[in-house]
Amino acid sequence: MNDLPASKPDWPHIIGELRSSVTITDATDPKQPLIFVNEYFLQLTGYSREEVIGRNCRFLQGADTRSETAREIREALSKCMPVRTEILNYRRDGSTFWNELNIDPIFDAEGRCVLFVGLQYDVTDRKLLEEEATHAARSAHSQSRALMEFMGKLNHEMRNNMNGMLGMIDVVLMDESLPEDVREYLEIAKGSGDTLLNMANDALDFAGAADGRIRLEHIEFNPKHVLDSIVKTHRLRAEEKGLNLILDTQSLHSQRLYGDPHRLRQVLDNLIGNALKFTQSGSITLIAEEMPADRSSGLTPMRFSVRDTGIGIPEEHMDKLFKAFSQTDASHARVYGGSGLGLKICEELVQLMGGTIFAESRQGEGSTFRVELPFSPEDPHHLLT
């Protein structure tokens, strides 16, 4: 404070030298004419002081100025309210610039609005960058949508053909007179075909989730029956690997829920399939827990946990788990295969059903994936009638 000059500051000179555009308007005159502009305003607009003093600022507007923005400014000033907006203005030579406009009313001692003080900033470069970013985002979205549509069509055709091929291999394998070496070759071919079919299914589901084509059902189902069926599907593969596949439903009490059992099955199938893939010894446990009902929504939250004793996931790779086309280790991708879409699809489906999915893992000790989903204990269609 001691460094300030002793004399009274020359405010007009200071304002005139600011590198921001400053205007002062007479608010007592219905025409709201300019009574002061600083040097930077003149540089910004290309006008001389004689050309602007006494005029309303509307001379800066032109054909491409949004009439809605201009009207909002007029309405605010008519009520002596401050203005914060961005508006396209015109210079004297007809070129345009984006004006970040800030106007504040000034009141006298008796509370009358006597002046409007305006600050204007040229934000054209920023607006151009925003427009370019918006255009790029729209273009990327359009290209992504086209790619997803192509993937959907391609994988639909691929899936149909793979089903036909695998069906014929199954028919040939039913021939008990097949030589053992031929049977072995066919089983290898079937295994490879199953892998390709699973990848095609993953890609098709991913494309559907990305463009919003997946629709949920709301039907009655018995959760215990669904879980029993899921475990039975994977039990043979678990036994072939010498793994113990366990279903724990001690905390499951509801015999009837409403939701989408098919998408629930798809999520848990994927998680158990992953556990089987990455577990060489020990066990895999599917735990179903019924949580306290949400009083506000009336929904019954369920928690499903898939716990394995597999190879685990390094801590530095945990943040990549639910990213599309991501696998935690390139060597694992080569050894275990897969599209890198499974967990991303699980996440998309779980979020679509209004739930959450998260993972815990320690390398060398195994992993646990938990899914929490809300289900209705009553028919939602009945509740609406």
pLDDT, position 335: 37
pLDDT, position 6: 54
pLDDT, position 183: 83
| Residues 277 and 312 placed together within one structural domain of the fold | yes
pLDDT, position 166: 80
pLDDT, position 7: 58
CA gap 289, 292 in Å, rounded:
10
Phi, psi (deg, nearest 5) at residue 211: -105, 15
| Residues 272 and 189 placed together within one structural domain of the fold | no
pLDDT along the chain (385 residues), means of 10: 55 68 92 92 94 94 93 93 93 94 92 92 89 82 71 69 80 86 80 66 62 77 92 86 94 90 88 90 95 84 95 83 58 43 83 92 91 87 52
Query: Tokens 């918006």 sit at which residue?
Result: 134
pLDDT, position 135: 84
Query: Tokens 């190879």 sit at which residue?
Result: 311
Select from 78, 94, 122 the last residue of a domain.
122
Assign 41 to helix, strand or coil: helix
| Residues 241 and 326 placed together within one structural domain of the fold | yes
- Asked if the structure places residue 5 within a domain, the reply is no
Q: Model's pTM, two decimal places?
A: 0.51
pLDDT, position 144: 67
CA proximity to 379, closest of 217, 215, 220: 220
pLDDT, position 10: 65
- Asked if the structure places residue 350 within a domain, the reply is yes
| Residues 261 and 276 placed together within one structural domain of the fold | yes
- Asked if the structure places residue 25 within a domain, the reply is yes
Which residues neighbour 95 within 8 Å (Cβ) at sequence distance 6 or greater?
none
CA gap 87, 144 in Å, rounded:
33
Select from 122, 157, 173 the last residue of a domain.
122
Assign 190 to helix, strand or coil: helix
Number of domains in the chain: 3
CA gap 183, 176 in Å, rounded:
9
Query: Tokens 């005159």 sit at which residue?
Result: 29
Range of the domain at 133: 129-210
- Asked if the structure places residue 6 within a domain, the reply is no
CA gap 44, 42 in Å, rounded:
5
- Asked if the structure places residue 84 within a domain, the reply is yes
The total of other beta-carbon atoms located within 10 Å of residue 289's CB is: 16
| Residues 199 and 341 placed together within one structural domain of the fold | no
- Asked if the structure places residue 233 within a domain, the reply is yes
pLDDT, position 210: 59
| Residues 358 and 227 placed together within one structural domain of the fold | yes
- Asked if the structure places residue 239 within a domain, the reply is yes
The CATH number covering residue 79 comes to 3.30.450.20
- Asked if the structure places residue 162 within a domain, the reply is yes
| Residues 167 and 234 placed together within one structural domain of the fold | no
Select from 161, 178, 210 the last residue of a domain.
210
| Residues 247 and 375 placed together within one structural domain of the fold | yes
| Residues 281 and 239 placed together within one structural domain of the fold | yes
pLDDT, position 195: 60
pLDDT, position 324: 57
The CATH number covering residue 284 comes to 3.30.565.10
| Residues 226 and 358 placed together within one structural domain of the fold | yes
Amino acid at 313: I
| Residues 246 and 368 placed together within one structural domain of the fold | yes
Q: Which residues of 46-69 are buried (b: 16+ CB within 10 A; e: fewer)?
A: ebeeeebeeebbeebbeeebeeeb
| Residues 107 and 133 placed together within one structural domain of the fold | no
The CATH number covering residue 167 comes to 1.20.58
CA gap 279, 353 in Å, rounded:
28
